[in-house]
Copies of this chain bind each other. A is one copy, B any other.
């Protein structure tokens, strides 16, 4: 079977290889991949800015969906023909993260999804919503689960809440869509007029030009100077997020931001009784809960571009494109 391997640091170290076909053990599931998704983390791994737990060569990417081709004789969770996604951290099934459950991430601690065939323990798979295309479903495992974990599992967003979403990247657009599902009013910041327009079409109540020097004041105005209830902070600019936040609000820090430092006066943090939470994906139970809601609402993730498997390395350039609005997906 064909696969891509990263043999060291640098995009030029990704190469197509031929690998032996894997076989399934008692609890295992063989999946033929049909689409894979890219995240900022994948790029950071290629550039050496994100720690990986497995020596090179490494099959990149954590997100992928495909069809079950074979199952071990003790497998009960899925059956041949099912369309499934691997979960980001293969051993993080429910509850809070622990060290033991975390060090099992696809495309980092374990080989990832940029290959035709993949064998995972049945516990590491979930069914994906039937109404989605393969490309759409491939966007869910990291960015979708992260946004849900931030807003719903750990954030408890309620109808009527004001949610500020910074930017229009993969996690940001999921956050916009999920916050709307929760009945919240969403304010999106972006430096691009075209992206602001698209954010409005996706349901943003208001958009703010991030180039505007007083964009924070604009956000406060939109909340009658109360501040927003929840900030999805993808920038690491803690001072700005605090300035936008209402007393007692929550900031979700998200993103694979090697090298970014957060800095802020502590006073606003104290006086606003702010709550900050660092979010990195979520457990399988979050993925399943999210899928149920996506299916109910027939929600469609935003796919920015689709790259064929044969030209997979081009996906990293697509991820860096300034015009990108949504997720980059590789089609097998």
Chain A interface residues toward B at CB < 8 A? 25-26, 93-99, 102, 152, 156, 158-160, 178, 181-183, 185, 226, 236, 238, 247-248, 253-267, 269-280, 283, 285, 289-290, 292-297
Contacts and interface: CB of A to CB of B under 8 A. Distances in A.
A263 B178 CA distance: 31
A273 B236 contact: no
A153 B26 CA distance: 34
Contact of A257 (B94, B267, B295): B267
Nearest to A294: B160
A274 B181 CA distance: 26
A103 B181 CA distance: 33
B248 A293 contact: no
Nearest to A227: B99
Given A96-B247, A257-B266, 16 more contacts: A94-B94, A94-B96, A97-B248, A152-B158, A152-B159, A158-B293, A159-B296, A160-B297, A182-B183, A183-B296, A185-B296, A258-B267, A261-B265, A262-B269, A273-B277, A276-B277
Nearest to A247: B97
A285 B159 contact: no
Nearest to A272: B278
Contact of A297 (B159, B292, B294): B159
A299 to B, nearest CB: 9
A253 B270 contact: yes
Given A247-B102, A293-B158, A296-B185, A273 B280 contact: yes
A273 B278 contact: yes
A244 to B, nearest CB: 15
Given A152-B159, A260-B266, A293-B183, A93 B93 contact: yes
